Chains A and B, each alone.
Chain A
């Protein structure tokens, strides 16, 4: 008995705070969200069960179709920029520019938006799309004597896709460039001796080597795009009206602006379920066993 306690003592002390935090801010919220989704809690914070009312409301919500469409567009196109452009950046800064200092400079610059605080980063975009003649795009138009355009009103989706795309591209870039860098140099030498063309080197050597990172980046970015709304909130706040509102932001608005905590939770629950399905796919594809094997206990 005593020895069992002793065996438990060390891991319990070491893992205590870790487990407590996870319990308090992951497990408990999940349970709460599930319960809240079936209540119509509002700012009075009273528990009133409402059955499936929230989900029925969701089906009847006149804005929801628009929001779903926005979410699909936003996630799809941002993902496209993230993955494709990230891959292009990865190849360019590792394979085509092999002078490490030069590519490090480029990669560093691309990391800047990612490292900048979101508020600052969004300020740059606000300036870029500024409706007055002081904005970047509008001052370019002014050079050709064209009227300023209220970009964020006219093209809110484009704006949020661009802003998120560039942030995500640097994530892809980092993952891909470290994958490409880990390809043995001999392989490239062998290919050039074997007479491979540039295209063939990309197709037969680089892409097979980054296949898994490619899948990983895609799913990972999908997961974070579908649930995060920080940049959209700061840039357009979903507006004008619901033009750039996405599902995650809608849940936030419902809960914290309209104080419909129950309805907000129901929307969150849908998001969590979508995300869990994809996490599960990731788990299956990437083989959890493979990851776990990396640390053996003797």
Chain B
């Protein structure tokens, strides 16, 4: 024990050590900002280009606008000619996209809340089994099943209908949504429900007046998430929708892009911006809760 008493010698050495210069100390932080700045810059620039290009007649070096015009936004009031044919009105596509996304949101929230509550709170035979299945389906390569889904839609007579694609999209997302909502319910303590029951509410009333309000913020986030996901959906719509009446914004834009004779970045960026509008709006107002949900999506596993 003796060597423990007042270890003077060991200490004086370190006390005389000079503190490092401020520069060296801050170096890691400068590097951090540098790396982040350099890697983030291209992303910012690309989105700025999208904005500039949509209002520019011509771009110098492909980036600096020469003169401003509203010409590119003409698609809002006239139908775009493309490869000899006329595309349907942008408003048809917008309406379809909106219909698709809003119905998707309602379906997902409704089914997700019901299933989430059942998984979280009700004991029934096969519950463990169902929960495991739900978890597995998170990671299931659903895209690889699209050939079979095509066959099923065909069989049900739902091919080339928005409703058919809606069902597919809901199905692909519902395991994740139900699991997240189940997580919200798990976080509501039983005590709260018991207190409600003791205070004289029925189970349904407790659910409606006490439990549901408690998970409202979570539900709101899930709704936004599924709306945006419906709004952005491309692949399913491209595969299972053929008629122009059912065209959505994603397919509309893709048709423009894939036309080799028409590389009009002005028009393309204007349509893109128009298409991205809800994304941008939601992004600005709800980014915090979005981050939480997208992080929460992975948290379970």
A and B touch in the complex (CB under 8 A): yes
Nearest-Cβ distance from residue B239 to partner chain A, whole angstroms: 7
Residues of B within 8 Å of A19, CB to CB, are 130
Can you list 16 residue pairs at the A/B interface with Cβ under 8 Å? A21-B171, A26-B140, A32-B148, A92-B32, A92-B35, A104-B287, A119-B234, A119-B275, A120-B50, A133-B62, A234-B254, A255-B147, A275-B141, A278-B139, A291-B301, A295-B120
How far is it, in angstroms, between the C-alpha of A112 and the C-alpha of B50 when the chains are bound? 13
- A residues adjacent to B (C-beta < 8 A): 7-8, 10-11, 13-15, 17-19, 21-22, 24-26, 28-30, 32-33, 36, 45, 85, 88-89, 92-93, 96-97, 104, 106-113, 115-120, 122-124, 126-128, 130, 132-136, 138-139, 142-143, 166, 171, 174-175, 178, 198, 213, 216-217, 219-220, 223-224, 226-230, 233-234, 248, 251-252, 255-256, 261, 264-265, 268, 271-272, 275, 278-279, 282-283, 286, 288, 291-292, 294-295, 297-298
* A118 touching B232, Cβ below 8 Å: yes
- CA A185 to CA B237, docked complex, whole Å: 47
CB-nearest residue of chain A to B14: A195
- Residues on B facing A (Cβ under 8 Å): 28-29, 32-33, 35-36, 39-40, 43-44, 46-47, 49-50, 59, 61-63, 110-112, 114-115, 117-124, 127-128, 130-133, 135-137, 139-152, 154, 167-168, 170-172, 174-175, 178, 182-183, 186, 190, 228, 231-232, 234-235, 239, 249-250, 253-254, 257, 263, 265, 268-269, 272, 275-276, 279, 283, 287-288, 290-291, 294-295, 298-301
Which of chain A's residues has its CB closest to B34's CB? A92
Q: Which residues of B contact A112 (CB under 8 A)?
A: 43, 47, 283
Min C-beta distance of B123 to chain A, whole Å? 5
Given contacts A21-B171, A32-B151, A92-B35, contact A8 B145 (CB under 8 A): no
- CA of A56 to CA of B235, assembled, Å: 30
Give every chain A residue within 8 A of B111 (Cβ-Cβ). 17-18, 21
Query: Top 8 nearest A-B pairs by Cβ distance?
Result: A25-B171, A29-B148, A227-B141, A96-B32, A32-B148, A18-B115, A117-B232, A14-B118
Tell which of A17, A107, A198, A264 touches B291, judged by Cβ atoms closer than 8 Å: A107
Inter-subunit contact B119/A120 (CB<8 Å)? no
Contact of A283 with B144 in the complex, beta carbons under 8 Å: no
Residue numbers in B under 8 Å from A230 (CB-CB): 143, 234-235
Q: Separation in Å of the B163 CB from the closest CB of chain A?
A: 13
**Besides the known contacts A115-B283, A166-B43, A171-B298, 7 further A-B residue pairs in the complex with CB atoms under 8 A apart:** A115-B279, A126-B257, A130-B263, A229-B143, A234-B254, A292-B128, A292-B132
Residue in B110, B263, B298 with the greatest tally of chain A CB atoms within 10 Å: B298
Query: A-side binding surface: helix, strand, loop or mixed?
Result: helix
CB distance from A30 to the nearest CB of B (A): 7
Q: What are the residues of chain A within 8 A of B142 when measuring CB–CB?
A: 25-26, 227
- Bound form: Cα–Cα A139–B45 in Å: 14
- By DSSP majority rule, is chain B's interface helix, strand, loop, or mixed? helix
Query: Bound state CA distance, A26 and B152, in angstroms?
Result: 11
Q: B279 and A116: CB pair below 8 A?
A: yes
Partner of B144, one of A28, A275, A298: A275
A33 contacts B148, CB within 8 Å?
Answer: yes
| Chain B residues, CB < 8 A from A36 | 147-148, 151
Contact across chains for A110 and B43 when beta carbons are under 8 A apart: yes
The answer to whether A29 and B149 touch across the interface, beta carbons within 8 angstroms, is yes
Bound Cα distance A13, B146 (Å):
28
